[in-house]
Structure 1
Amino acid sequence: MTTAVKNERLRKRFEKWDTNGDGQVDRADYLSEADRIVSAFGEDPSTPQARALKDAFAGMYDYLADKAGVGAAGSMSVDQFQEVVQAQLFAEGDAGFSRVVRPTISAIVGLCDVDGDGQINPEEFHKWLEAVGVDRSSAVESFRAIDTNGDGQLSVDELVQAVRDYHFGTLDVPLLG
């Protein structure tokens, strides 16, 4: 995948997470996105699952902001965001995605895993896509593409890999919205 395509996907992610539209992302933007997802799932914000998602989004922001040199109380421009994600996720591959993205994916799984098996079935996946604002029209096909072991369930590992694949251009399902 070309750098231009990666940067375009990151720019879209930045715009999605810049919830107040000020051209910067900060901790409050990440927490607003977490609140939006919690609300879309119809989850009470005080539940452990909702708090885990907020903590995961806050942790992701804090980590990236620290690496960008702006700190948790600072904000990042689109260029800073792209630079830090490039360095912390893309350059580090699986390790970077695991460190930065896995906690958020795990927390989203905690919200939509109604049957409590730690995995996402097709019905839960539809709910996930709806909650993060992704068109569900290709949900069946997307589910099959993400379900790399073909067991009819999506594990956290498969979902983290899907986020990575999206950013590297081999999958067109933006699981984080």
Structure 2
Amino acid sequence: MLDADGDGAITRAEYLARVDRVASALGRDAHHPVVAASRAAHEAVFQDMDGDHDGRVTFEEYRAWVGPDAFERACRPALGSMFDIADTDADGLLNRDEFTRLRTAAGNAETDAAAAFDALDADRDGLIDRDTYLTGIRDFVTMGDSPMAAAYGTAHGTGRPVLDARP
């Protein structure tokens, strides 16, 4: 999902392009303060992932990096900043349209995003709050145990999320 050109590594440009795609999908100006904050948060994640600091994150680097500590240290702020871009009225909630535009711009299929929204919207009020969103992603990425797991799938035969290829 992050290796846009399929060359086996995530470059800084590929990783930061997610922020620009989300901002564009949600109608945010590239210079808006929430977009700038998101770009800075994603830059920090990229630096954290790039273990050998060569400007490319290989699958091996990602695999060594991913986990609960990395999520809390780096991903939570970055993913929260993407939520903030999508939360155009700044009420701390995303409706189905905002959520779907966020997730599809981030690289998920629209049908998967819709299923993930349905899974996270436990009270069926048509809204997802920031903590529910971040907890769902954390649990999916680190444990494969999330309402989002059915929507996004697991690594074949492992029961673990596609993004987590721990042995």
**Normalising by the residue count of structure 1, what TM-score does the alignment of the two structures yield?**
0.69
Question: What's the counterpart of residue 50 of structure 1?
Answer: 35
| Cα separation, 2, equivalents of 1:82 and 1:138 | 24
List, as ranges, runs of 4+ consecutive aligned residues in structure 1 with deviation greater than 6 Å: none
Question: Larger strand proportion, structure 1 or 2?
Answer: 2
Sequence identity (%): 28
Give the superposition deviation at 1:148: 4.9
Aligned pairs, number: 149
Give the superposition deviation at 1:139: 4.9
SS of corresponding position for 1:46: coil
Which among 111, 122, 134 is matched to residue 85 of structure 2? Answer: 111
Question: What's the counterpart of residue 99 of structure 2?
Answer: 125
- Are 2:62 and 1:81 aligned? yes
| Cα separation, 1, equivalents of 2:6 and 2:115 | 33
Question: Any conservation in 2 of the 1:19–1:33 contact (CA below 8 Å)?
Answer: no
**Normalising by the residue count of structure 2, what TM-score does the alignment of the two structures yield?**
0.72
| Cα separation, 1, equivalents of 2:46 and 2:84 | 20
Residues 98-154 of structure 1, C-alpha deviations (whole Å, 9 max, x = no match): 222211221111111122202212232222233224233365543242235666432
What amino acid sits opposite 2:23 in the alignment?
Answer: V
Which among 104, 113, 117 is matched to residue 143 of structure 1? Answer: 117
Q: What CA RMSD, in Å, does the superposition of the two structures yield over aligned residues?
A: 2.7
Gaps of 5+ in 2: 153-162
Question: Larger helix proportion, structure 1 or 2?
Answer: 1
Question: Any conservation in 2 of the 1:147–1:154 contact (CA below 8 Å)?
Answer: yes
Question: What's the counterpart of residue 159 of structure 1?
Answer: 133
Gaps of 5+ in 1: 1-15
What amino acid sits opposite 2:117 in the alignment?
Answer: F
Question: What's the counterpart of residue 9 of structure 1?
Answer: none
| Cα separation, 2, equivalents of 1:55 and 1:172 | 31
| Cα separation, 2, equivalents of 1:141 and 1:32 | 24
